[in-house]
Structures are given as C-alpha cells and as structure tokens.
Amino acid sequence: MTDILSDEYFMQIAINEAKEAALKGEIPVGAIIVANNQIIAKSHNLTELLHDVTAHAEIQAISSAANFLNAKYLKNCTLFVTLEPCQMCAGALYWSQISKIVCGAEDEKRGYRAMGGKIHPKTTIKFGVLQKECSNLMIEFFNKKRT
C-alpha cells in the first residue's frame, strides 16, 4: 500500500501513461500498480495497437504486476488509474483481490458503477485524485477526434 509518497505523485505517473496512450491514438487511460511504495507495473490502453478490446490499461497492469510478484493475487497493492474502470476491468480487479484502487476521473456512462459492476468487498476505492487533469485528457482527446 502507499504511505510515504502521495496519491497525487503516483497519479501523475498514471497520467503520463495516459498521455503516452494518446500519442499512439489510444483512448488516454493510464494505470500503475504500486506495492510497498514501489511501482511494480505501469501501462496504458493498447486496444488499437493490439486489435484487442480487452487490452485496457488496468488489464495490462494487472498482468504485469502478477508477473512481477509471481502471484495471481494483488493483495497489498494499489492501482492508480486515470479513469474509473469499466465493468470488465472491475471484474478483473475483483478477481485480483487488489487492496486499493485510486481513480482520477469518474466515468458516469461506462464506469463499473454505472453498469452495475462491483469491486471486491475488501478493496478500498478512492475517487477524484487529480480529477481535473484526468478529465481534461479525455475531453481534449475526444475533441481532437471530432474535428
């Protein structure tokens, strides 16, 4: 879990991942996973590059963290993600038993809560960390797509 470095510090790294996604033409979502104040996984959306609808930032980060830990559960880990996870990612996070999720922007239309998804009951979740910056990434990305 995180305790020395701030949630804002780690979310900024997730934002950098989201910016990397945008540069590749991907929807700008970035995710990192932290254990013992160390980043053990970081990723961003890769759905376009991999031609894979499941290649969301969270799924990529979960796989990378599990490989790093050589374990299927992510207990005592925190996910920092720039956008509220979708229902698919919430399901994967549920099964990973991750201890904490920190979200930047909420997704009122496609987020797991809007679609009736659930997070593991032992997982804590925090919303709104660098929310404005995370929301602006999405707004700017889609504004450019529409012009």
Mean per-residue pLDDT of the chain: 95
Question: Amino acid identity, residue 140?
Answer: E
Tens digits of residue pLDDT in 68-80: 999 999 999 999 9
Choose between 4 and 48: higher pLDDT: 48
The rounded percent of the chain whose pLDDT value lies above 90 is 90
Query: What is d(CA 36, CA 91) in angstroms, rounded to the nearest whole number?
Result: 24
Query: Of these residues, 26, 58, 84, 108, which one is catalytic?
Result: 58
Choose between 66 and 5: higher pLDDT: 66
133 pLDDT higher than 80: yes
* Cross-strand pairs, 79: 33, 101
Q: What is the 3-state secondary structure (H, E, C) of 5-54?
A: CCHHHHHHHHHHHHHHHHHCCCCCCEEEEEECCEEEEEEECCHHHHCCCC
Question: Amino acid identity, residue 71?
Answer: A
38 pLDDT higher than 50: yes
The rounded percent of the chain whose pLDDT value lies above 70 is 97
Annotated binding residues for Zn(2+), written as ranges, equal 56, 86, 89
Superfamily of domain 7-142: Cytidine Deaminase, domain 2 (3.40.140.10)
How far from chain centre, in Å, is Cα 127? 12
Instruction: Tokens for 75, please give them.
Output: 């207990």
Average pLDDT over residues 118-133: 95
> Is 48 annotated in the active site?
no
